[in-house]
Structure 1
Amino acid sequence: MVLTCRAASDVAQSSDRGQGSQNKEGSRKKRIAVFVSGGGSNYKAIQAAIDAGKVNGEVVAVISDKPGCKATEFASEKGVHVSAYPKSAKFAPEGLSAEDLVQLLREKKVDIVLLAGFLKLLPAELVKAFPQAILNIHPALLPAFGGKGFYGLRVHSAVIKSGAWFSGPTVHFIDENYDAGVIVAQRIVRVLPTDTPEELQARVLKEEHYLYPIVVSALCDGRIRWRDDGVPILEDYMHSSPTELPETSSCRNVQAII
């Protein structure tokens, strides 16, 4: 199958973005917006990877449908701009409209959008404004156990009740539907016969924190390429099979389970 030569980040690079800060090699850090609804453990994992120099990016905006949640508190502590979306009489009366949300991200010169436990469907305006630049992480092996209403312990309960032997996180690009975008990477977690939803959730979450920063790093570096059928491929594995993995690759564990 023929692979295109265009990286996922080329869309963002070709538009009018800010210069941003530089890493030690001098390449521009990608400007990231993170969407959250709760504790933000995946956001924190990505921030930790940024702080450790493993992700060439910087979080410049955090968007939440529940202002005041733990994730937004963390963002405020880091000095990151926080905004509410969508408008909600109960949680966010000051919430942005879809148009204002897109405008805010453009003003912040955002390159990449990451969903980290964000429970609302993104507006079509945002999806169209950031093609091939919006990632989500889901706590099951999509396309199974995904869609509207499948989040948190609901996912893990459904996996256990189904009798499935395996679960694990999926990182995928998003489209205008819940959990329906093309898959970038997955990790396998064994479902044990005695698992409770909480026990399975804890093991899957550990793999989420491992996998998401790897894929975000690849997107920031332009190491995600696109096959001619629209499937994204991590660049490290364009010419490798699962049994012939690059020994120096920091992502080698991902390929074996994609």
Structure 2
Amino acid sequence: MLKFAVFVSGWGTDLQSIIDAKNEGKINGEIALVLSNRQKAYGLQRAKDAGIETAVVKKDDALIVKMLKERNIDFIVLAGYLAILTDELIDAYPNKIMNIHPSLIPSFCGPGMYGMHVHEAVLQRGAKVSGATVHFVSNIVDGGPIIKQVACDISDLDTAEDIQKRVLEIEHKLLPEVVGLYCDNKIKIIDGKAKVI
């Protein structure tokens, strides 16, 4: 059974969706650590409520790598983690760090495109469709291999908050699904692209 860490910075609803899926038997893996770069992230409380070890580390990827190796972590899930990872961490877990992004990459992604900024940009551009993407993390922000995407119609929505709410519904299904696939060894990198087998 693979062991994984989940990184969070805020409310932790994506983390909760993973915990729930694990409890429902949909993820054949162990959430061994929940780590945050923010002391007051509510996601830490969600982890504690589920009996999962937590840690807070700010801007010290060398320490993070050390902690992960000590716990024999196989892969990492970024679930609303609002920090850019250093090469040190990425190189320690090549194609073993997955991130959920609240748009259909390659649209509305890259430096500065996170959280509500994404939905505001989508609204301002007048996009009719948005969605969520799970991808592997590379040294290019939001540039790693795309694992899975789900789109949704947003043509009836008028605020960034409403877009966020609809996209979050997708995230809460998509991220646990991809984590489950990874734990079952059903995701492979072939010719630089992620394939679900």
TM range (shorter): over 0.9
| Structure 2 residue 13 is the aligned partner of structure 1 residue 41 | yes
Give yes or no for contact 2:3–2:74 (8 Å, CA) kept in 1. yes
How big is each residue's C-alpha offset from its partner over 1:70-111, in whole Å with a ceiling of 9 and x where there is no partner?
Answer: 101111222222222224xxxxxxxxx322211100111101
Indicate yes or no: 2:84 matched with 1:121. yes
- Indicate the SS of the match to 1:169: strand
Give 1:194 deviation, angstroms.
4.0
Per-residue deviation, 1:193: 4.5
Alignment partners' CA distance in 1, 2:102 and 2:93 = 23
CA contact 1:121–1:177 (8 Å) conserved in 2: no
Distance in 1 (CA, whole Å) between partners of 2:20 and 2:136 is 22
Which structure has the larger Rg?
A: 1
1:10 matched to which residue of 2? none
- Give the secondary-structure state (helix, strand or coil) at the position aligned to 1:113: strand
Residue of 172, 178, 187 corresponding to 2:135: 172
- Name which of 174, 186, 194 aligns with 1:232: 194
CA distance in 1, matches of 2:84, 2:8: 12
How far the C-alpha of 1:147 sits from its partner, in A, is 1.4
Distance 2:188 2:170 in 1: 23
> Which residue pairs with 1:155 in the alignment?
118
What is the TM-score when the length of structure 1 is the normalising length? 0.74
Contact 1:98 1:126 in 2 (8 A): yes
Residue of structure 1 equivalent to 2:43: 71
Deviations 1:113-154 (A, max 9, x none): 000000101121111111121100000001110112212221
Counterpart CA distance in 2 for 1:143 and 1:194 is 22
Correspondence 1:1-258 to 2 at 5 A: 29-87=1-59, 97-227=60-190, 229-235=191-197
In structure 2, C-alpha distance between the alignment counterparts of 1:223 and 1:35, rounded to whole Å: 22
| RMSD (Å), alpha carbons | 1.2
Partner of 1:187: helix, strand, or coil? strand
Structure 1 residues without counterparts, runs of 5 or longer: 1-28, 88-96, 236-258
User: Is contact 2:5-2:76 (8 Å) kept?
Assistant: yes
Which piece of structure 1 moves more, 31-40 or 60-69? Answer: 60-69
- In the alignment of these two chains, the number of paired residues is 197
1:160/1:191 contact within 8 Å kept: no
Residues 116 and 194 of structure 1: CA distance in aligned 2, closer, same or farther (over 3 Å): closer
* Residues 194/103 of structure 1: CA separation in 2 closer, same or farther (3 Å cut): closer
Higher strand share: 2
Q: Provide TM-score, normalisation by structure 2.
A: 0.95
Q: Distance in 2 between matches of 1:179 and 1:85?
A: 22
Deviation string, structure 1 residues 214-245 (Cα, Å, up to 9, x no partner)? 11111111001222x2101110xxxxxxxxxx
Distance 1:126 1:75 in 2: 22
Unaligned runs of 5+ in 2: none
